[in-house]
Amino acid sequence: MKKVLLLIILVMAVFISCTHDPEELIAPVVPDTPANDTSAVVFDMTAVPYPLLSTYNFYAGPMADLEPVEGVLPYDVITPLFSDYAHKKRFIWIANGAAAQYVDDMSILDFPDGAVLIKNFYYDNVLPQNDRRIMETRILFKRNGAWEFADYRWNQEQTEAYFDLNGSITPLDWVDELGVTRHVDYRIPAAAECHTCHKISGVDTPIGPKPQNLNRTYDYSSGSSNQLAKWAEMGYLQGGYPGSIATTVRWDDPAETLTDRVRAYVDMNCAHCHGEGRHCDYRPMRFAWHESSDVVNLGVCVPPEDLIDPSYIYIVSAGNTNRSMLYHRLTSTAEDVRMPLLGRTLVHQEAVDLFTEWINTLSPPCD
């Protein structure tokens, strides 16, 4: 059997070398046993979404510990989406020994049917007991070539989560990392809200799992590894991927340039609406990482198409936050003004500080 497997690997290597520059692609790793072959996950494509999150058996031990069973692989993105200061734990699982394929650096991996993306939203130091509270678990799964949503609302006891696509609001007080007590009316989205952010030309799609966002080291229980390499090792990514990927940066990394940090922030928080075929594609900004190296696409010295206030004469007015529409939207919590439109009810003050510094360093002035 080992000889047959070795022959298959050699044939694949020859094929890849004939179709790609060997320095351009990292060849796939063939695992001895696909991770999902031994997984305890329960995922019947004819029965999902289940009424209870526990039915999937994604987690070992007490479900609220979020410790994954074999084959449920944790991952993270370089710059995360801001969601009213909620923390997140992300996992992937793929059924039936199938695997994702690389498309390009800036596109979602081509996932097979049976792919499941799991994202848990939680707060630490929740009052009055200063404990962790998981608010929701969002699942995106692919069936018959299409992505579907399933959202699960956790109970107060943190023992179970229930399928609910109607949306809800939960008031919450917590103590942040600086020791400040904060309040949020946490919004679990309804199905229509999920579609607003996740659609491209009306077709639902994930946002985060792109090579540009995944190309980073993750500290697994077995040791640190590049995430793309780990996915390949697990059998979740096959067909190879480039050795050099145009990768985003951490938006809060002071070692990066202000412009790149801004680009990374809007790529994750805004580009899913501001792109061709997306919810706000009629607006001039193009916030995707691969489009924003031209600051015009960030709105610098570009007049807004809807002048909601005559003082904001540019989307970004170089050197002047008081005349910048983008800054106004980032600092607003009004539903008809704020940006992003959904997923945020609080001002992300650290991001506002970044944009303030960036705008004030832009020159020359627009007029």
Give the model confidence (pLDDT) of 90-115 as tens digits. 999 999 889 999 999 999 999 999 99
> Which of 9-23, 174-188, 223-237, 339-353 comes out lowest in average pLDDT?
9-23
Helix/strand/coil percentages in the chain, nearest 5: 25, 25, 50
pLDDT at 178 over 60: yes
Identify the band that residue 157 occupies on the pLDDT scale cut at 50, 70 and 90: very high
User: Of 290, 286, 268, whose CA–CA distance to 277 is shortest?
Assistant: 286
Q: What is the CA radius of gyration of the chain?
A: 22
Give burial (CB, 10 Å; 0-12/13-18/19+) of 276: exposed
Distances in whole angstroms, Cα of residue 160 to Cα of each of 39, 86, 110, 112, 163: 21, 19, 31, 28, 10
**Token pair for 313:** 């004469």
- Residue 22: the pLDDT is 32
Between 99 and 35, name the one with better pLDDT. Answer: 99
pLDDT at 278: 63
Type of residue numbered 327: Y
* Helix, coil or strand: residue 323: helix
d(C-alpha 262, C-alpha 321), whole Å: 14
29-33 average pLDDT score: 45
Q: How far is CA 256 from CA 21, 116, 293, 353, 363, in A?
A: 31, 33, 14, 15, 19
User: pLDDT tens for residues 60-71?
Assistant: 999 999 999 999
Q: pLDDT class for 36, splitting at 50, 70, 90? A: low
Whole-angstrom distance, CA of residue 291 vs CA of residue 320: 24
- Peptide bond preceding 128: is omega within 30 degrees of 0, i.e. cis? yes
Work out the average pLDDT over 209-233: 97
Q: Give the integer Cα–Cα distance in Å for 311 and 313.
A: 6
Predicted confidence at residue 39, as pLDDT, reads: 74
Is the confidence at residue 18, as pLDDT, over 90?
Answer: no
Q: Report the distance separating Cα 243 and Cα 211, nearest Å.
A: 11
Share of the chain above pLDDT 90, in %: 73
- Give the angle 31-243-222 at the CA atoms, nearest 5°: 40
The 10s digit of each residue's pLDDT in 309-358 is 788 999 999 999 999 999 999 999 988 777 777 779 999 999 999 999 99
**Amino acid at the residue 62:** P
Paired sense of beta strands 181-190 and 166-175, if any: antiparallel
In which band, very low, low, confident or very high, does the pLDDT at 85 lie, cut at 50, 70 and 90?
very high
237-253 pLDDT, tens digit per residue, is 999 999 999 999 999 99
Average of per-residue pLDDT values in the chain: 88
The more confident residue out of 275 and 261 is: 261
Instruction: Read off the tokens for 116.
Output: 């499941």
Other CB atoms closer than 10 Å to residue 285's CB: what's the count?
Answer: 25
Q: Could you tell me where the beta strands, DSSP code E, fall in the chain? A: 25-26, 73-75, 87-94, 100-101, 115-126, 131-143, 146-154, 161-163, 166-175, 181-190, 199-200, 203-204, 217-220, 223-226, 237-238, 241-242
Going by pLDDT thresholds of 50, 70 and 90, the confidence category of residue 35 is: low
Assessment of whether the complete model's pTM goes beyond 0.75:
yes
Share of the chain above pLDDT 70, in %: 86
Lowest mean pLDDT among 3-7, 116-120, 198-202, 310-314: 3-7
| Lowest mean pLDDT, pick from 29-43, 76-90, 140-154, 244-258 | 29-43
End-to-end CA distance of the chain: 72
Residue 58: pLDDT over 90: yes
Spatial separation of the C-alpha atoms in residues 58 and 45, rounded to whole Å: 15
Q: Are 99 and 112 in contact (CB under 8 A)?
A: yes
